Structure 1
Amino acid sequence: MIDAFPLQWPHGRARTKARSDSRFKVSHSKAFEEMVSELDRFDVTHVVVSTNIPLRRDGTPYRDGLNELLEDPGVAIYFTRKKRQIALCCDTYRRPYENIRALGLAIKSLRDMDRHGAGQILDQAFEGLTALPAPGATDEADNRAWWVVLGCQPNASADEVRAAYKKQAREAGGASVELNAAKDAGLIAAGEAA
């Protein structure tokens, strides 16, 4: 399961070291709306947009957060197309909405390829974009105690568990399966439902 928050960067994908400002002339809300629209037109299912922006109740990021200067403004989009799980990601720009805009334009370009008869080329392109398991999705993750993974005490309170989780996720550049499982186990141990 890929979580939308915090950011879950696709395993094995390189990160941008020096980010820049984009030249996009679009608002942060419009960038998000157009990216969602492109995904809808691309005939994909099981879409998850993963960022470091807290989520609203409907599972989408707060729009105001899209324009913030975050330590990690990366965006990863996971979806299924033609029974293939795909991950697209971008952290080139300094604000999340700029990376969302870049991904929206990339999806539009892929959709144009498909629409103009280059579907075979598109399928070949997706071979390299197939989503790999989330970072930490191994059997080894089950062998470590939750407090070891989070770097806290076994008797930590729910607030301490959440704080340790956020710290570890920040340091790792996003959450992993192991961190999410450790947080859930820690909250249960602290007497709170995960």
Structure 2
Amino acid sequence: MKFEKLNWPIGQPRTPKLSQKQARFNKDGKSITIAEAKRRLIREIELWTKSGQKWRIPHDSIIVTANWSVTEKGTVRSEKEPDDSGVAVYFELDGENYCLPCDQWNRAADNLAAIAAHLGAMRDQERWGVGTTKQSFQGYAALPPIAISPDEEWWQILKVSPNATLNEAKEAYRKLAKTNHPDVGGNRKDWDKIQKAWEIAQSQK
């Protein structure tokens, strides 16, 4: 498992900040910590695999993306709450890629705890024969998180200046869409990077 900067899945709507709520994923009357939320996630992931069998969710496939301060080794540096409390967890289950995002709550640790609880609920569906794994995860299928090279900045990908306004970035994004969108013969990987760069531009403006 490793932590990376928030990589919200494309096409997934965001919860407006004013609509986010205070969660009750507390422990002993105190707000849940990142460490506790991570522990809950690991526990739920491990419960998907029966003892002695091959991991259904390999630990090295798990990428927790959130805007916490992260070290070079991919661990959380501090408990300081980020401006964007959204969390998106990417992982592989039975050979398929999935992403569970959550931004319903006003603390990132609570959103991670919510994802852990959701994984547990989906496991119970399979356990009690309510549905298959694929049925439970329908709508959560995803490609691995889109990565932008550390040597690249959003403004370089959109081909604008570092001080470009949001309107200028938007105009550049639309211009690139005309020649890079897959519907007009563009490369899917290049287009995904352009979309990701546009998302980052919006979050920073």
- TM (norm. structure 2) is 0.61
For residues 138 and 92 of structure 2, the distance between their equivalents in structure 1, rounded to whole angstroms, comes to 13
Name the amino acid aligned to 1:34. R
For residues 10 and 102 of structure 1, the distance between their equivalents in structure 2, rounded to whole angstroms, comes to 17
Which fold has the larger relative contact order, with Cα–Cα distance below 8 Å and residues 6 or more apart in sequence?
A: 1
Shift of 1:110: 1.1
Q: Secondary structure at the match of 1:103?
A: helix
- Structure 2 unaligned regions, length at least 5: 49-55, 149-153, 164-168, 170-191, 198-205
Shift of 1:4: 4.2
What does 1:1-194 align with in structure 2 at a 5 Å threshold?
4-17=3-16, 18-26=19-27, 27-28=32-33, 29-42=35-48, 43-45=56-58, 46-62=61-77, 64-65=79-80, 68=81, 70-120=82-132, 122-132=133-143, 146=156, 148-149=158-159, 151-152=161-162, 177-178=193-194
1:144-186 deviation line (CA, Å, top 9, x unaligned): 9826446328xxxxxxxxxxxxxx9xxxxxxx734889xxxxx
CA 1:20 to 1:180, structure 2 compared with 1: closer, same or farther past 3 Å?
Answer: closer
- Structure 1 unaligned regions, length at least 5: 138-143, 154-167, 169-175, 182-194
Shift of 1:127: 2.4
Tell me the C-alpha RMSD between the 2 structures: 3.2
Name the amino acid aligned to 1:35. L
Shift of 1:96: 0.6
Checking the alignment, whether the CA contact within 8 Å between 2:125 and 2:136 is kept in structure 1 is no
CA 1:24 to 1:180, structure 2 compared with 1: closer, same or farther past 3 Å?
Answer: closer
For residues 81 and 38 of structure 1, the distance between their equivalents in structure 2, rounded to whole angstroms, comes to 13
Question: When the two structures are aligned, how many residues end up with a matched partner?
Answer: 148
Shift of 1:30: 1.4
Shift of 1:99: 0.3
Q: Secondary structure at the match of 1:64?
A: coil
For residues 26 and 142 of structure 2, the distance between their equivalents in structure 1, rounded to whole angstroms, comes to 30
